[in-house]
Amino acid sequence: MEEIPWFECDDEELDPAQREFVHVLRDRARSWPVQPIDTVLLPPDHTPYGRLLAYLDIDDPQRNRTVLTVGAHFDGAGARGDKLHNQDFTLPSSPSALALEVTGSPHGTAIRTADWFEAILRRPLVRYEWLHAGQTYATRYLYADTGLGLSQGYVTRLAPPGLTDRLTADGFDRGGGWIDTAGLGQPDRITHVRGTDAPQ
């Protein structure tokens, strides 16, 4: 069986600075608690900003679900990173609490970008779940160290009777049937998903 490389791409599409940047990331990624298939490299011609993009999907392996996509755009003189839109891989219009901005040589920029990826992977990611009749009707992923929310879901047909109407009346309907789980109070279950520190 052929082994998938870290940050796989055709290196012929990269210039020398980009190859140096990628070489450092590949070397560092070998120790990350993710699979090589979770790391992606897109040459500049395949990205929305016309810059090299290295990104990482952070998954919940118990639920087989991608929780967060983070990545860094490298322009030869530095890198900008943040959580990315999971379809077009664009950066948010305003930097989030996860943002990275570094300048310097390709090697130095790659080291700081790898440090950034590793810091995100070390953070204690948890899954909050709300249960009714033995089934999970709402889920929220967040970092336990800061409470920063990453993604959430709510299934109306599994929720307790009348709850969706109450949440809508209380202003927790974000439109289009999307319920904000912030209105649910304390979860029924908290599960440590990844990161070196379990939640307290």
| Averaged pLDDT for residues 159-184 | 88
24 shares its domain with 115: yes
Q: Which of 84, 106, 122 is where one domain is finished? A: 122
158 shares its domain with 144: yes
Is residue 3 domain-resident? no
For residue range 35-56, list pLDDT tens digits in order. 999 999 999 988 878 899 999 9
pLDDT of residue 197 exceeding 70, the answer is no
The per-residue pLDDT for 176 is 72
Is residue 6 domain-resident? no
18 shares its domain with 106: yes
Q: Can you say whether residue 76 is alpha, beta or left, with left for phi > 0 and alpha for psi between -120 and 50 degrees?
A: left
For residue range 129-149, list pLDDT tens digits in order. 999 999 999 999 999 999 999
For residue range 56-112, list pLDDT tens digits in order. 999 998 998 999 999 999 999 999 999 998 788 889 999 999 999 999 999 999 999
129 shares its domain with 117: no
Is residue 117 domain-resident? yes
Is residue 1 domain-resident? no
Q: Which of 91, 122, 153 is where one domain is finished? A: 122
What is the distance in angstroms between the CA of the first residue and the CA of the last residue of the chain? Answer: 41
pLDDT of residue 199 exceeding 80, the answer is no
Is residue 98 domain-resident? yes
180 shares its domain with 90: no
- Average of per-residue pLDDT values in the chain: 91
100 shares its domain with 64: yes
Q: Domains in the chain: how many in total?
A: 2
118 shares its domain with 132: no
Taking each helix axis from N to C terminus, what angle separates 16-29 and 106-122, rounded to the nearest 10 degrees? 30
The per-residue pLDDT for 1 is 47
Q: Which of 122, 146, 174 is where one domain is finished? A: 122
The per-residue pLDDT for 2 is 57
112 shares its domain with 134: no
The per-residue pLDDT for 5 is 87
The per-residue pLDDT for 200 is 47
131 shares its domain with 184: yes
92 shares its domain with 158: no
Is residue 190 domain-resident? yes
93 shares its domain with 63: yes
58-140-38 Cα angle (round to 5): 10
Is residue 4 domain-resident? no
82 shares its domain with 135: no
Give me the domain span that covers residue 180: 125-194
